[in-house]
């Protein structure tokens, strides 16, 4: 079954304690991305990757890091989480096609930083 898997799905952590949210896809997609979703703001892109070892900043990259060492994995790293990073996070992936491609989303990770 084609899927994007994120872990953990739910996490409460404390300010400053490094954490990683993993994302894995089994569809051999070149493109992967992280979004955060906040009330009234919609989905905002944090980082994206167009292929292995190729990453770039999205619209709200501050406070986050990513890596793309393998095609299937795209972890999101919060080196020193702060309460303003409390949000719902989605990982997404797609093929590198010019038109009509859909983007597949993971189920989301609820992160609370206290």
Partner 1 sequence: GQNIDQPTEMTATEGAIVQINCTYQTSGFNGLFWYQQHAGEAPTFLSYNVLDGLEEKGRFSSFLSRSKGYSYLLLKELQMKDSASYLCAVRETTDSWGKLQFGAGTQVVVTP
Query: What is the token pair recorded at 42?
Result: 């919609």
Q: Which is nearer to partner 1, 84 or 101 (CB)?
A: 101
CA dihedral 95, 92, 19, 72 (to 10 degrees): -30
Q: Which is nearer to partner 1, 1 or 40 (CB)?
A: 40
User: Where in 70-109 is the site for partner 1 (CB under 8 A)?
Assistant: 88, 90, 94, 96-103, 105-108
How far is it, in rounded angstroms, from Cα 96 to Cα 114? 38
How far is it, in rounded angstroms, from Cα 1 to Cα 4? 10
Residue 34 is a binding residue for partner 1 (CB under 8 A): no
- List of residues contacting partner 1 (CB under 8 A): 31, 33, 35, 40-45, 48, 50, 58-59, 88, 90, 94, 96-103, 105-108
């Amino acid at each position: 079954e084609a899927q994007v898997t994120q872990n953990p799905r739910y996490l409460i952590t404390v300010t400053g304690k490094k954490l990683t949210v993993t994302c894995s896809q089994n569809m051999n997609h070149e493109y992967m991305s992280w979004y955060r979703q906040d009330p009234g703001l919609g989905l905002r892109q944090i980082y994206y990757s167009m292929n292995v070892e190729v990453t770039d900043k999205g619209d709200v990259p501050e406070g986050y890091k990513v890596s793309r060492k393998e095609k299937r994995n795209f972890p999101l790293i919060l080196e020193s989480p702060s309460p303003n990073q409390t949000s719902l996070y989605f990982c997404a992936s797609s093929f590198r096609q010019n038109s009509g491609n859909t983007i597949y989303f993971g189920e989301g990770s609820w992160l609370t930083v206290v």
